[in-house]
């Protein structure tokens, strides 16, 4: 197999767009005026719940669906580094929304979603706010680390494609095949 299955590619790009929007919403909520923050925070929460759900779905599918084989020319240390970065990316994409949920519950904020669903609280905040502070640090610093790792992920893919000139990104994400099919019709 030379590319990821269609559903994994769609989820990859959908999550990439959602994460970019989420970062903008979070930044605006954190540094915007009070009225801007009040308007953005509920959107930020709801989008975070969607990102968490889609990431869990993507991980489940990733474990059961075939994926492209590793590049045989890649060194074992590079392969381990790539796997570690992907693991940390997944960990952060799960930890940041979960920590956001903890903060949201601690705030006593509305956890309703479109369609009349409500995200369960899962805990009752204790009097001591240490957990809230820890969740805030995980959420904020985790988001910045996630942004940096996404940048490294993009840079690594682009540099690999430029170094080998083999259409790595378009091949793995399935665009190359679409181009060949369009030329043939």
Task: Please report the pLDDT score of residue 173 as a whole number.
Answer: 67
- Please tell me the distance from the alpha carbon of residue 129 to that of residue 135, in angstroms, as a whole number: 10
* CATH 1.20.950.20 is the classification of domain 6-184: yes
- Please tell me the distance from the alpha carbon of residue 47 to that of residue 109, in angstroms, as a whole number: 15
Residue from 134, 138, 137 nearest 91 by CA: 138
Residue-wise pLDDT tens digits, 139-148: 999 999 999 9
CB 138 within 8 A of CB 95: yes
Residue-wise pLDDT tens digits, 3-39: 788 899 899 999 999 999 999 999 999 999 999 999 9
CB 8 within 8 A of CB 177: no
Task: Please report the pLDDT score of residue 131 as a whole number.
Answer: 92
- Banded pLDDT at 98 (limits 50, 70, 90): very high
- If one counts every other C-beta atom within 10 angstroms of the C-beta of residue 151, the result is 10
- The pTM (predicted TM-score) of the whole model is 0.85
């Amino acid at each position: 197999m030379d590319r990821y299955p269609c559903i994994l590619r769609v989820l990859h790009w959908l999550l990439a767009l959602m994460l970019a929007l989420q970062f903008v919403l979070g930044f605006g909520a954190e540094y915007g005026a009070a009225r801007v923050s009040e308007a953005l925070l509920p959107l930020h929460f709801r989008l975070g719940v969607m990102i968490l759900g889609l990431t869990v779905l993507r991980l489940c599918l990733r474990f059961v669906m075939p994926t492209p084989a590793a590049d045989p020319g890649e060194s074992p240390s590079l392969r381990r580094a790539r796997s570690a970065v992907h693991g940390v990316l997944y960990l952060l994409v799960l930890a940041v929304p979960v920590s956001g949920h903890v903060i949201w519950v601690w705030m006593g904020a509305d956890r309703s979603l479109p369609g009349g669903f409500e995200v369960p609280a899962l805990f009752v905040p204790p009097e001591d706010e240490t957990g809230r502070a820890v969740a805030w640090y995980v959420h904020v610093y985790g988001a910045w680390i996630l942004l940096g790792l996404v940048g490294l992920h993009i840079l690594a893919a682009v540099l690999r494609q430029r170094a080998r000139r083999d259409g790595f990104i378009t091949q793995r994400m399935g665009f190359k095949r679409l181009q060949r099919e369009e030329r043939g019709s």
